[in-house]
Structures are given as structure tokens and as C-alpha cells.
A = this chain, B = another copy of it.
Amino acid sequence: MSVQTLLLDFSIDPARLGDESGQKSVFGQLETVLKEYIPSLILAADIKLDGGSLKLMTGKKGTSVSVRLFDRGLVTVNIEYYKEDNEEPLISFKKSKLLESSVRHELQTERLKLLPTIKRGYKFDVYLTSSDERLLEYDIDNVLFDEQSPFQRVQIVHSKTLGNMLVLDDLQNISEADLIYTETLMQRGKENYEGKEIVILGGGDGALLYELLKENPKFVWMLEIDELVMNACNKHLKSICGDVLERRKGTNYEIIVEDCMLTVNKFIKDKKKVDYIFGDLTDIPISDTACGELWEFMITILESAFKILKPDGKFMTHGNGATSPESLELYEQELAKLTPPVKFGKSKAFVPSFLEDWIFYQIAFEKPDNGDA
């Protein structure tokens, strides 16, 4: 089942909507067109509002149509009805295009827009958002996994374009089409991991560990808190994580399932230092100021991580969408506060499952001899 919402809007000369009789005439024309597409349409309410009016109509099978006429020359039409999955839509795609062109023609609109029908309460949620809160409809056609862990909602969905995709708390995380994400994060081809010791903070999807192991590191510790994410990815994202989540440890790697700070603090106590640390936890929060729980969490991790990094080591992490420069700037300001001081490089890659450019950071001590300070 789902509710189908059709959103149409158009602009006309404001003079045509200037008074009540104008609004009545425009509405009359619109009503005539709508009646051709929606059976048994009758006016159920007519309400005067600040800056215009609202007419409410109802039709066959509980269809409701609300028409708002704004004095300033804008008209919005919202059509809403209930549909069982096996039912044909009341207004098919083809019919909606005809409706669009009828309204354009009959009302002589200056501008008109019909959005693709929005499906609400459908068994698959196909709407995700970009880092800058844009609405993106994915071609998701199945939900393979959907459970709540103590930390987050863990879903694996299937997209026709992207293959299987991990979605955490309604945020697209990684899909089978995202090798570029992992390769940009690790700067494959630019960094040499052979014989190196590496810590991954987070990384529960296993993709980073899987790719790093191909480069013959000395040892990789992956510190992930959420067992459920790993179980879901091990089952449904094998193509990006191989068997690393299944095996959990090998001759040169180990996945430690607990709060990553426990191992980091143990390393600090033991004066153990590594060549690379990957921050593969949460993204840089999108906010106006570097305040709040998420920022504090990230800054704490950052400060601790540099305490277990060798003087010539590197901290590699993902930032956020390239369209959120303000948040990236806040992150860079936090980096500037670290002691000993650090320097950083940035890389950008278009990540298929995000449908946007993403920024990745490579951070190192400004003076390699300061690392032991």
C-alpha cells in the first residue's frame, strides 16, 4: 500500500488572481481540466486565506485535491489518493503528462511544473537526501535487511543502479558501486601500505579492511562497535568486503568489536604507535558551529588518534559533501587547534551511492619530529 501524492504548480499573470472573481475564474478553468482526469470530483471546502484562497475537492475512491491560489500569481495543486500495490494508479505516468499539458494549454500558464508522483508509506523508502539536504529518489526495489542495533538502524537495500547498499539511520553509507569511495579514502596508488601497521576506527562495512589487506600491510586493527552492521554487510555486501567480516581475524588483521576508544587508550598506555589511522566513523556533522555531542565525539577521537600515530604517520578520513563547505571549514579549524600542529591534504571524488562529490582528508604532523612530543 502507499499514498500517491501528485504535486503540480504553475505561474500565471498575478492580475488574473488579483480579486475573488479572478480567482474564481482561474479555479473554474482548472476544475474543468481536473474533472477530466479525476472522476466524481466535487468541491468540499472553499476557504479564504491570507494572500489567497484554498479550494478542497474530493473525488472517486477518496481522492482529495487541494488547490491553492496565491495572489502573487502562483497556483499549487496537490492530488492525493490511496493505492494498494496491486492496483493501477488512478493517474498513471502517461495520464499525468496529459494532465500537465492540458493545464498548460487551458490555463495559458507562464510556467508549469509537475513532479514525479511521490509515494508515501510504500514498503520501500526510495527517498534519501544529499549532504546538503536535497531530495533524491533512488531506484530501490528491495529491502534485504532492516534491524535496529543498540547504536543505529541498519538497513541493506537493493538499488537497480548501485546494487546492494548499506543505509544507516536513513543515510546512504556504501554500496556495491562505491569502490571509488574506499580508494579515495585510502589514496590507493599514492600511499604505500606494504609492511605498515594500521588502525581503522569504525569501518563496519568491511570494505576498507578488505581493500587494505590487498596491499600487504603488516597488521590492521579494525575497531568497530556495531556487531549488527558487520553481520548485515557480511551477508549482503560480500562483493565489497570479501570474507573479512566472516573470519574476523587473520594472520595480519583483527576486528575488535567494542568502543574504539578502549583499544586506542590501551595503545596510548602501551606507547604503541602505528603508521596509518583511518577515521571511518561518523561524517563531519553539518552545523553552523563546531558544538554538540557529535562534534565533541569527533574531536575527542581526533585528539586521541594522533597520540597513537607515528611521527611520519597519517590520519586518513572522509569529510562530508563538497556542497557543505561551511562544515568542512569548521573541521579544518578544529584541525588547526591540534597540538602538535598538523597539516592536511584534501581529495574529492564523486561517490555513486551519495550522488554527489565527497571530500576526503589526509592529515599528518606538520613536523614529523614533533610526533613524539
Give the B-binding residues of A (Cβ under 8 A).
1, 3, 5, 7, 9-11, 44-45, 47, 49-52, 54, 56, 58, 61-62, 64, 66, 68, 70, 72, 74, 76, 78, 80, 82, 93, 111, 113, 115-116, 118, 120-121, 125-127, 129-130, 132-139, 160-161, 177, 322-323, 350, 352, 355-357
B133 touches A323 (CB 8 A): no
Residues of B within 8 Å of A118, CB to CB, are 7, 115, 135
How near does chain B come to A355, taking the closest CB pair, in angstroms?
5
A116 touches B138 (CB 8 A): no
10 closest A-B pairs (Cβ-Cβ)?
A: A50-B62, A134-B137, A45-B45, A9-B120, A49-B62, A135-B137, A74-B121, A116-B135, A51-B62, A116-B133
B9 touches A82 (CB 8 A): no
Residues of B within 8 Å of A115, CB to CB, are 118, 127, 135
A9 in complex: contacting residue of B3, B129, B132, CB < 8 Å:
B3
A7 touches B9 (CB 8 A): no
A3 touches B74 (CB 8 A): yes
Bound: A150/B39 CA distance, A = 37
B47 touches A44 (CB 8 A): yes
A72 in complex: contacting residue of B49, B72, B82, CB < 8 Å:
B82
A116 in complex: contacting residue of B1, B9, B126, B134, CB < 8 Å:
B134
Residues of B within 8 Å of A82, CB to CB, are 51-52, 70, 72, 74
| A3-B9, A70-B3 given; A56·B51 CB < 8 A | no
Bound: A228/B129 CA distance, A = 35
A68 touches B135 (CB 8 A): no
How near does chain B come to A18, taking the closest CB pair, in angstroms?
16
| A51-B82, A350-B352 given; A323·B139 CB < 8 A | yes
A58 touches B62 (CB 8 A): no
A58 touches B66 (CB 8 A): no
| A56-B45, A118-B7, A136-B136 given; A68·B74 CB < 8 A | no
A113 touches B134 (CB 8 A): no
Residues of B within 8 Å of A350, CB to CB, are 161, 177, 352
Bound: A177/B11 CA distance, A = 32
How near does chain B come to A298, taking the closest CB pair, in angstroms?
20
Residues of B within 8 Å of A80, CB to CB, are 68, 76, 78
A76 in complex: contacting residue of B3, B49, B138, B357, CB < 8 Å:
B3
A323 in complex: contacting residue of B56, B126, B161, CB < 8 Å:
B161
